[in-house]
Structure 1
Amino acid sequence: MITSLILTGCGSQGKGPAADPVKEPSAPVTAPKTETSAPADPEPAKPEPAKPTTLNFWTFQELHKSFMDDAVETWNKAYSDKPIELKVDVYPFDDMHNKLLIALQSGTGAPDIVDIECGRFPTFLKGTPALAELNRVVEPIKDKLIMGRMDNYAKDGKYYGIDYHVGAQVIYYNKEILDQAGVNADDIKTWEDYIAAGKIIMEKTGKPMTTLEVTDHWTYYPLITMQNSDYLTADGTPQLDNEANIKSLQLLSDMLYKDEIAILAPGGWHHAEEYWAWMNQGNAASVWMPMWYMGRFTQYMPDLKGKMIIRPMPVFQDGMKSAGMGGTGTAVTIQSKNEDLAVDFLAESKLSLEGSIKTWTILGFDPIRKDAWSDPAMEADNEYTQYFGSDIFSTLQSIVSDIGPIHYGDLYPTALSLVQKNVMFKVLKEQSQTPEQALKEANEELKMK
């Protein structure tokens, strides 16, 4: 069922009580000789507050509601002459994207503003996009933006979506477990170091070093992009079965069945309620996910507060330090009757310096504006520093300049689906195929699309 919420940043003000009628004095009043008196100017009538314009916003992520709530408040204080009332509908992931596609194809029923997950975004750019072009708000500040994140939502030099974050890939360690095993997270630099530490932790605590997904790609995808690989080449050619991709999947398989330092994630992935409940009990020493996953810890794993620390990913030889993972491009549809207002509001909420900083202070995301990174607000105490410690941002600054690229293209959603639904399950769960066999089979299927 849909969750609906009206976010209103300002309300209308009622009129104050009427002034008492002026009475004629019974005797003349003499003003002091030392002063002169003048009749008071009548108080000007207060203008009626502007009527809010209602904009509809669809999302699949509950955590984005608080950000948009604050954005509406900020907008209405700054632009009281054109206030906004935002009606937010939160749908299940697949339902929202399917509903949006039908609405855009039929030409009716789409919202003004919508969140579109990065892996689904290429679907909405096919042919002539039914999304509003955002160049007029992007191009004036291109030098301030991490444009690699903007390019994820672009076609033919036109920008159609604005992300919430960079999505830098990091690893989350349970320091309490590491301390029990005498392992220092800062000594783990490479994947060889990570596996060796995992064996010590398993021996001394009986707990796995990590959990691996079998129904999604968050475990696998950063490993290939950190080696300058991807599902597609820069020109969109399938390359699921290249050497780096096979090597990465073999590494995961070995963690499970050779080195025995990992187990399959309860529920199949790191967004399953079963996983959150299990991990919240302190059952694994680490998990690698993007920076935005901090919000999942604070919301769904509260008992790990003060136990988890964030560190850079282990690296491959000659590999990169991180990867830009995931993302959500917020777009304006051309069905909006208030397209210009919607674009202006979207830009203010996510592209302004204040808005970009708030993606960190409210959501715990790494901002897409480069100048936000040096702002003192980024070092201020908040719920994320209270949960993970005060060194979050220093970790982030050490890796953000060395992030592997992502190659989105028309075949990306299909490639992603093949990895999520076939490759990971067959190799890591069923063990019915080797990494090379599964990836070659998937690549051949992708070529036929």
Structure 2
Amino acid sequence: MRSRTLLAPVVALAGAALLAGCAMGGGQPAGEVVLDPDAKLEGEITVWSWDVAATALDRLGDEFEAAHPGTTVNVVDVGYDNAYDKLSVGLQAGSGLPDVVTIETDRAPGYINEFPAGLVDLDPVLGDDEADFDPFKWQAQSDADGALKVAPWDSGTVGLFYRTDYFEEAGIDPASIATWDDLVAAGEVIKAKTGHTLLSLDVATGGGFQMLLQQQGQGLFDENGDITVNSPEAVEALTLLQTLNEKGLLKNVKGWDGRVTSAKDGDSAVTPEAVWWIGTLLGDAPELSGTYGVTELPAFEEGGVRTSNSGGSGLSVPAQAKNPQLAAAFVAFALADADNQVSMMQNEGLFPSYLPALQADYFAEPQEYFGGQPVYELFAEQTANIPAITFTTDNAEASDIVANAVVAAVLNGADPQQTLDDAAQQIATATDREIAE
């Protein structure tokens, strides 16, 4: 019998999936936990995740328990909005984190470097499978010595989700949208003819700024670790967001739940988001089946890159885990198995980082929710075009500063260049890094 719990309502994964676990505080010695791939599996573990990610792990927990009698997998949906607060407290206290936690790819380097002994090295159970995973994610989630601290889970390839009924009512062909300028112009027509805004964003958390920046081949830092948040590309991205708001095409919503609610309510015509948004729509807005299509992200200029990355996540085992052997075995079961990865795509819309899974016929099948469009083919094709960017240990701190800059420019009308210059200086002061020339 199982004694598993799935707490809190399903609300949103943000392919990202949440919360890093590393639990080092309290002065635990590095290397205390060494995994044995042949260890006997018994007892129970607790897993933290959220939304469709928690749903997927809960479902796979049933299968894992059936395959390993005498084990119990308890999945807790801790929610996205407070996930990092819980993580920070657990890391500093050296206690309070579970056996398995989810961590977003862009957050991983910061936690791995700040708490080098806080996460268990997963190489003993996954190292032989390295070539089968997205190499970018494997590298981003490993430490300086190459030890895998966060196992790759889902990818965050970005496309443009659009309401087919709104575009039809406005007389706009989605295929005619090649650039962001095209989309802004279309948004004005859509609002005039349907009354709907173009898109809904949470401006307070950055409003998609970093997604737009990566689309142009830049992150918050360059390959030398220098600050690039005030580059011409960054100014163009922030100016776009400001323009959308000034034209009344942007609905500002609060938090992840606000974005999901806005989609369910049909506030806006498009959602530039990662492939994992499919899982959110399927789980939270099944009633909207048949009203959505997907196309490439608009480029900043004709012939430019038409995708980006948003989110993506992995699973990790904190050093404070009570049952690390069972935890690591469950991570491998969920993420290094093609059938299980395909099942998470079919049931929860989680796009695999495990490459063998992408060979399954499912990824070329028409999807009823999207009017028969084989949407996963589009994401699979665009994944190879995602520009690579550099993450540093200061990404989290820089992201908070940049989010404030986005608010200043988009909601308060501040000059984008000056706002980003100020943000770059704040990041330089806080991190002792140089501003790129």
Normalising by structure 1, we get a TM-score of 0.80
How many residues of Structure 1 are paired with residues of Structure 2 in the alignment? 392
Alpha carbons of structure 1 residues 119 and 142: separation in structure 2 relative to 1, 3 Å: closer
C-alpha separation in 2, matches of 1:97 and 1:201: 37
Deviations 1:99-151 (A, max 9, x none): 33333444333311111233443342115231001123333222221111222
Q: For 2:91 and 2:230, locate their aligned partners in 1 and report how far apart those are by CA, in whole Å.
A: 35
For residues 237 and 84 of structure 2, what CA distance do their matches in structure 1 show?
30
Partner Cα separation in structure 2 for residue 316 and residue 354 of structure 1: 38
Deviation at 1:182, TM superposition (A): 1.3
Does residue 286 of structure 1 match 2:303?
A: no
The question of 1:304 aligning with 2:291 is answered no
Output aligned runs, 1:116-131, within 5 Å: 116-125=103-112, 126-131=114-119
1:135 equivalent in structure 2? 123
**Aligned-partner SS, 1:409:** coil
2:94 aligned with 1:107, yes or no? yes
Displacement after TM superposition at 1:94 (Å): 5.6
In the TM superposition, 1:154-233 aligns within 5 A as: 154-156=142-144, 157-233=146-222
Which residue in the other structure is 1:54 paired with?
44
1:217: Cα distance to partner? 2.7
1:167 and 1:228 mapped to 2: Cα distance? 15
Q: Give the counterpart of 1:332 among 287, 296, 317.
A: 317
Give the aligned partner of residue 411 of structure 1: 394
In structure 2, the CA distance between the partners of 1:167 and 1:92, relative to structure 1 (3 Å rule), is same
Corresponding residue to 1:447 among 415, 428, 432: 428
Bigger shift: residues 179-188 or 101-110: 101-110
Do 1:190 and 1:316's aligned partners in 2 also have CA atoms closer than 8 Å?
Answer: yes
Structure 2: state its 5+ residue gaps.
7-39, 431-437
SS in structure 2 at match of 1:155: coil
Aligned ranges for residues 31-110 of structure 1 at < 5 Å? 52-59=42-49, 61-80=50-69, 83-93=70-80, 95-110=82-97
Q: Check if 1:436 corresponds to 2:420.
A: no
Equivalent-residue separation in structure 2 for 1:241 and 1:222 (angstroms): 15
Match of 1:151 among 119, 128, 139: 139
Deviation at 1:347, TM superposition (A): 1.1
CA contact (8 A) 1:198 1:261 kept: no
SS in 2 for 1:211: strand
Instruction: Give the match's secondary structure for 2:213.
Output: helix
Q: How far is 1:355 from its partner?
A: 2.2
2:155/2:313 contact within 8 Å kept: no
- Are the structure 2 counterparts of residues 138 and 238 from structure 1 closer, same or farther at C-alpha, using a change threshold of 3 Å? farther
Q: 108-117 vs 165-174, which deviates more?
A: 108-117
Report SS of the residue matched to 1:68. Answer: helix
User: Contact between 1:113 and 1:330, CA under 8 Å: does it hold in 2?
Assistant: yes
- Please state how far the C-alpha of 1:401 moved relative to its aligned partner: 1.3
Q: CA distance change for structure 1 residues 289 and 90 in 2, over 3 Å: closer, same or farther?
A: same
Greater relative contact order (CA < 8 Å, ≥ 6 in sequence): 2
Change in CA separation of 1:175 and 1:245 when aligned onto 2, cut-off 3 Å: same
1:341 equivalent in structure 2: 326
Q: 1:443: how far off?
A: 0.9
| Helix, strand or coil at the partner of 2:250 | strand
Cα shift at 1:290: 1.1
- Aligned-residue RMSD, C-alpha: 2.5
When residues 338 and 300 of structure 1 are mapped into structure 2, their CA distance, relative to the original with a 3 A threshold, is: closer
TM-score (norm 2): 0.82
Percent identity reads 21
Instruction: Look up the match of 1:35.
Output: none
2:343 corresponds to: 358
- Secondary structure of the residue aligned to 1:154 is coil
Q: Which has the greater radius of gyration?
A: 1
Which residue in the other structure is 1:31 paired with? Answer: none
Aligned to 2:378: 395
Q: 1:423 aligned to 2:405?
A: yes
Structure-2 separation of matches of 1:161 and 1:142 = 12
